[in-house]
Amino acid sequence: MSTGFKPIQVNDVASALEHCADVFGQITALLKAIQEKSAEHSDAARLAALGWVVANDMDNFAGSTMEQVQKGGVRQ
């Protein structure tokens, strides 16, 4: 049964993960700036801090997965 999709190249997977890590890093920086500019203990500061944790985790996850793809490849 055909899915209509072609297999993706390992380099394309690594590139996508690299871009994801970059974007999550930018979101992390943005949320940190919002947190620092917001009044202490405000809802905005708390939400920015929570978002920062999530974005930072995803930045780390995408980066470590990219490294695994680059060093170990992909298997099906």
Farthest CA pair distance, the chain: 57
- Angle, CA 21 vertex, CA 18 and CA 27 arms, to 5°: 145
6-50 pLDDT, tens per residue?
A: 888 888 998 999 999 999 999 999 999 999 999 999 999 999 999
- Angle, CA 76 vertex, CA 21 and CA 24 arms, to 5°: 10
pTM: 0.80
